[in-house]
Amino acid sequence: MGKKIVLVTGANKGIGFGIAKHLGLSGWQVVIGARDEQRATKVIGELKAEGIDVLGWVNIELKDLDGIDKAAKEINERYPELSLLVNNAGIPGDMSVDSEHTEISVIRETLDVNFIGTFALTKALIPLIAKNGGRIANVTVPSEISPYWHPLAYVASKAAQECHDGCDGHRIPADQYPFGNLLRSSWTYDH
């Protein structure tokens, strides 16, 4: 087996940081995907202090499609053995309002980042991941309606990710399916 290299988007804080740390402690070489150099540098220092092999960071701003193309090119050049992409980065939208009071601009921005941007990055990296026999995992949430938690923009954006996973899941044989959903289904990395 070759190197185990993972790119975790949004790894500069929260769940993304936890995923990067866990995978790093499990023997993966980690690439940090972030949109802020200062935060990325701070996290790299923290992870390295834990003994994690952090290869570097890539500037990924999911609302900037040209920037995503540039980031994908950089990833292909600097990390040609990348075999796992964890799509974690995203924005929450306005979680303080109900659907009736959600602004269209908030829905549009949240979909642009959480679905369109994630889709664009995934699409750009599929050839590299496939070449390396790798996997793609999306961090998401249940999109079923809940009486307890229902921020429209965020849930709609994550439902779109699930639709993407499901649409590709029907055309790719199960043993070759590169997608997984970390919070909704289990997946394994077989190499």
Q: Does the annotation mark 154 as catalytic?
A: yes
As a whole number of angstroms, the distance between CA 185 and CA 183 comes to 6
The b/e string for 73-99 (b: 16+ C-beta within 10 A; e otherwise) is eebeeebeebbbbbbbbbbebbeeeee
DSSP code string of 27-44: T-EEEEEES-HHHHHHHH
Please say whether the beta carbons of 146 and 105 come within 8 A.
Answer: no
Q: Do 85 and 10 contact (CB within 8 A), yes or no?
A: no
CB distance 83 to 5 below 8 Å: yes
Catalytic hit among 79, 148, 154, 189 = 154
What letter would DSSP give residue 87? E
List active site positions: 154
